[in-house]
Amino acid sequence: MSTRLLIIGPPGAGKGTQASRIAERYGIPAISTGDIFRANIKGGTELGKQVQAIIEQGELVPDSLTNEIVRDRLHQDDAQGGFLLDGYPRNVEQVHALDDMIDGDALVAVVLLEVDTDEVVSRLLKRAEIEGRVDDTEEIIRHRQDVYAAQTKPLVELFGERGILVAVDGIGAVDEVTERIFSGLDAQLASKTVA
């Protein structure tokens, strides 16, 4: 069975932090749409120029662009045995696009990192001091939380109905959160293998 996973949660929940650990444990690539966009902005590519202003304002990049990037990435050799998508899908349209790319039933688990708004805002303000990401100003951070609530949060119910949601408390030390994710994922993977 190929290990096809998603990780979702509000901006600042620790998705990127946990994604690399999950990917290493299950031997799959972690694919972050946010990282792909930032690398293109840094490299000054045509895609980077198209998305820079959108990301700086904390808006979502248009689905047409984002879906194509993911489609291309999932065709690469290293994703054939499974993958972890980080930050995608982010709205219902992207879920439908992903369902078309991979047969929706092929998703094994969706990790939901649960962290309240005050905690995520304070984490991102701390990151702003260290990394200086342009979308980590307080105003844009709060706007990104609103975009998450309006567009991404509805996906939690949708994946819950599919019986693949693994909800994890994202508050606590990074290692503790990782252990919670591993135990939730191991149980979900075992149930899928038996089914």
Chain residues binding ligand B4P by CB under 6 A are: 11-17, 32-34, 37, 54-55, 58-61, 66, 87-88, 90, 94, 123-124, 127, 135, 144, 172, 174, 177
State the nearest-atom distance from the C-beta of 126 to ligand B4P, in Å.
7
Residue of 4, 38, 123, 144 marked catalytic = 144
Indicate the residue whose CB is closest to ligand B4P: 34
State the nearest-atom distance from the C-beta of 54 to ligand B4P, in Å.
6
> Which is closer to ligand B4P, CB of 143 or CB of 192?
143
**Sequence-ordered alpha helix ranges (H) in 103-173:** 117-131, 138-147, 154-161
CA distance 67 to 144: 20
CA distance 32 to 20: 10
> Which is closer to ligand B4P, CB of 165 or CB of 177?
177
Residue of 21, 71, 73, 133 marked catalytic = 133
Known catalytic residue at 25 = no
Residues 84, 26 contacting (CB under 8 angstroms): yes
**What one-character DSSP code corresponds to residue 127?**
H
Long-range Cβ contact pairs of 94-99 (< 8 A, separation 24 or more): 94/63, 94/66, 94/67, 95/155, 95/158, 97/63, 97/67, 97/70, 97/71, 98/70
Residue of 25, 71, 127, 142 marked catalytic = 127
Known catalytic residue at 21 = no
Q: What angle do CA 68, 61, 125 make, to 5 degrees?
A: 130
State the nearest-atom distance from the C-beta of 140 to ligand B4P, in Å.
8
CA distance 80 to 63: 23
**Residue 53 neighbours by CB under 8 Å, 6+ apart:** none
Known catalytic residue at 73 = no
> Which is closer to ligand B4P, CB of 93 or CB of 186?
93
Known catalytic residue at 142 = no
> Which is closer to ligand B4P, CB of 17 or CB of 117?
17
Catalytic positions, written as ranges:
15, 90, 127, 133, 144
